[in-house]
Amino acid sequence: QVGNKPQLETEEIITLINLQPSSWQIVKTTIQDSADKILTQGVVPGLPTNIKQAAIAKHLKNLSTPVAAVAEKLLLSTLESEYNLVKDEKRTEEEARNAAKKTEPVYFIVEEGKPIVRAKQVINAYQAEALEHFGLSGWKINYFWLIIWVVLISGIITIFTLIQRRVYPNFRRRDYILLWFLSLTTLILPTIFEHYHLRAANLALNLPAIALLTSSFYNPLLAISQVILLSFLMALNLESIPWSILIGSTVGALVAGGVAHHMRSREGMARLGVAIGLTQAGVYFCSQLLLTTLVTGTIDDNIEKIWQTLLPGAIIFGLAGLAWNIFALGISPYLERVFDLVTPIRLAELSNPNIPLLKQLATKTPGTFQHTMSVASLAEAAARELNCNVELTRAGTLYHDIGKMHDPLGFIENQKGGPNKHDQINDPYESVKIIKKHVSEGLVIARKHRLPKLIRDFIPEHQGTLLIAYFYHQAKEQAETQGKPPPLESDFRYPGPIPQSREAGIMMLADGCEAALRSLKDMNPQKALHVVTKILKARWQDGQLADSQLKYEELPRIADIFVEVWQQCNHKRISYPKEALEVKQNN
């Protein structure tokens, strides 16, 4: 034995032991002769096992199957570390030099006055060499087409930017980076597949994935615009992609872009993936069928062959659309984290009251949590009425007061009827620091728990630059009593900023109205509407809604919705008879 020691199974050893002496001699001789013949032919280092097995099988074909299997294992172990062909680098280099010396030069004769190549003629290697030799190759930049492409791409970028500023104006630098990165992958992937001659080049169009991500992160119209512009660019640049593939991928992407933004669950996204796959497959099949009809003039005679030819391709293309949807779903959470984005599904997850941070809020500050849930009901209803982002409004509202966990008893809703902490402090300046701190501490907690920026913005914006009127007037009264100058109003205002979105503006109004409605007793709908309207107008006149894109004409609608929700939460119940409440004793 010259190789590694073979590890034979018990059954294999028994097979060899049961052989007759004559049979064993034949097996032994066959194995030795086979090893000698294979090594004589030459074994190179790193020879794949399957090639060794094929060679061994040819030499052992005369043995019975059980014995041949054991013999093959023995031979493989023998040849495992044995090789007798080694490349002689020095000799190979020397032979190459000698061969180069013996090679006769190839001459390409160009007669004076005769053309080397004619216009629109395909140039071969000899002609290219001749043109280069005489300095006639003419390799230069085609400035005309370069200018055309610059103008074209600049126009596409301008169109997309105009659409983006209209439908989604609050773009950050990281948002532009993400969209350009996604767009580049759409243009680069097919080119890479084509360059390396990969058979799946036609399946590298990731338009459905790009549309799904852009629609989920930003806006459906933005996603549709991106798909149309990218499809136009690929139609001009990628000649190797069949039109049926490009059209099918584009239509599937349009479906993804138009629907993804409205999905509220992973299950809905999964169903959307199936719809994208079916759309791509259907468009591909119909376009190929139409092309076949135009070429042949009829399909009646070849209907069976057409089905056999087109249907497998349509199914594969449809599965590619589904695969891109799965890929987009898988990468979406990572992009959300890296680029600080939110999707409707992410907002729904953040609104789950079982999230640890919200459970902590309910445990440490139960009064604040109940207040938060009431504000969320008001804000969500108003956002739905005004066609705002309902999921963002609800999620942002649920986290707007998390900063109160730093000092729960500093806020009356958590005092459970006990002594008021601020009465014991009896210093409006100290009290206002505690009240203001729930904003700064809320931002600290939000960053610690890695809440998206869109959610974090609700924390300072829900108070804007409002005046903390109670402690301001308390400080004013103390100053008058003590004969001191009146306090600065700026010392008793929140730092801001004021609401920067319609959703944050609605939440500010709901926050103020919920506290007012809760504090008043014997409230009827008319009185409630009067109080709510007064609060909304006060916020408007104080300039708190200047940057929120809310209109003054929308305030009455918001007031009506708030009162309607308040009535639903504070409806009256019938009084039970006294007898129904008494516990009857059985004799």
Mean pLDDT of the chain: 84
Q: What is the mean pLDDT of residues 360-368?
A: 93
Q: Cis omega before residue 497 (within 30°)?
A: yes
pLDDT at residue 270 above 60?
A: yes
pLDDT at residue 562 above 50?
A: yes
pLDDT at residue 73 above 60?
A: yes
Q: What is the mean pLDDT of residues 384-394?
A: 93
What is the DSSP code (8-state) at residue 191? Answer: H
By three-state DSSP, how is residue 493 classified?
strand
CB 347 within 8 A of CB 353: no
Higher pLDDT among residues 293 and 220, named by residue: 220
Q: What percent of the chain has pLDDT over 90?
A: 39
Please tell me the predicted confidence (pLDDT) of residue 534: 93
Please tell me the predicted confidence (pLDDT) of residue 1: 42
Reported as a single tens digit per residue, the pLDDT across 473-486 is: 999 988 888 888 88
Q: What are phi and psi of 493, to 5 degrees?
A: -110, 150
Q: In 3D, which of 456, 411, 453 has the Cα closest to residue 432?
A: 411
Please tell me the predicted confidence (pLDDT) of residue 288: 82
Please tell me the predicted confidence (pLDDT) of residue 444: 95
Q: What is the mean pLDDT of residues 182-211?
A: 77
Please tell me the predicted confidence (pLDDT) of residue 3: 47
Please tell me the predicted confidence (pLDDT) of residue 232: 87
Reported as a single tens digit per residue, the pLDDT across 132-149 is: 777 777 666 777 877 888
Does the global pTM surpass 0.85? no
CB 223 within 8 A of CB 259: no
Q: How far apart are CA 224 and CA 208, in angstroms?
A: 10
Please tell me the predicted confidence (pLDDT) of residue 54: 78
pLDDT at residue 85 above 80?
A: no
By three-state DSSP, how is residue 107 classified?
coil
Q: How far apart are CA 432 and CA 440, in angstroms?
A: 13
Binned at pLDDT 50, 70 and 90, residue 201 comes out as low
Please tell me the predicted confidence (pLDDT) of residue 304: 66
For the ranges 53-57, 60-64, 137-141, 464-468, the maximum mean pLDDT occurs at: 464-468
Q: What is the mean pLDDT of residues 376-387?
A: 94
Q: In 3D, which of 248, 268, 285, 237 has the Cα closest to residue 345?
A: 268
Higher pLDDT among residues 310 and 572, named by residue: 310
Higher pLDDT among residues 264 and 241, named by residue: 264
**Picking from 37-46, 79-88, 503-512, which range would have the lowest pLDDT averaged per residue?**
79-88
Please tell me the predicted confidence (pLDDT) of residue 383: 95
Please tell me the predicted confidence (pLDDT) of residue 557: 95
Please tell me the predicted confidence (pLDDT) of residue 358: 94
Please tell me the predicted confidence (pLDDT) of residue 528: 87
Q: What is the mean pLDDT of residues 63-73?
A: 77
- Cα angle value 583/586/587 (rounded, 5°): 140
Reported as a single tens digit per residue, the pLDDT across 445-457 is: 999 999 999 999 9
- In order of start, what are the domains of the chain with their CATH numbers? 10-79 (no CATH), 156-341 (1.10.1760.20), 354-569 (1.10.3210)
Q: What percent of the chain has pLDDT over 70?
A: 88
Q: How far apart are CA 241 and CA 418, in angstroms?
A: 75
Q: How far apart are CA 435 and CA 430, in angstroms?
A: 9
Chain-centre distance for alpha carbon 456? 21
Q: Which long-range contacts (CB under 8 A, 24 or more apart) does 77-81 make?
A: 77/1, 77/3, 77/4, 77/5, 77/6, 77/7, 78/1, 78/2, 78/3, 78/31, 78/35, 79/3, 79/35, 79/38, 79/39, 79/43, 79/52, 80/3, 80/4, 81/3, 81/4
Please tell me the predicted confidence (pLDDT) of residue 571: 60
pLDDT at residue 2 above 60?
A: no
Reported as a single tens digit per residue, the pLDDT across 7-39 is: 677 777 777 777 777 777 877 888 788 888 877
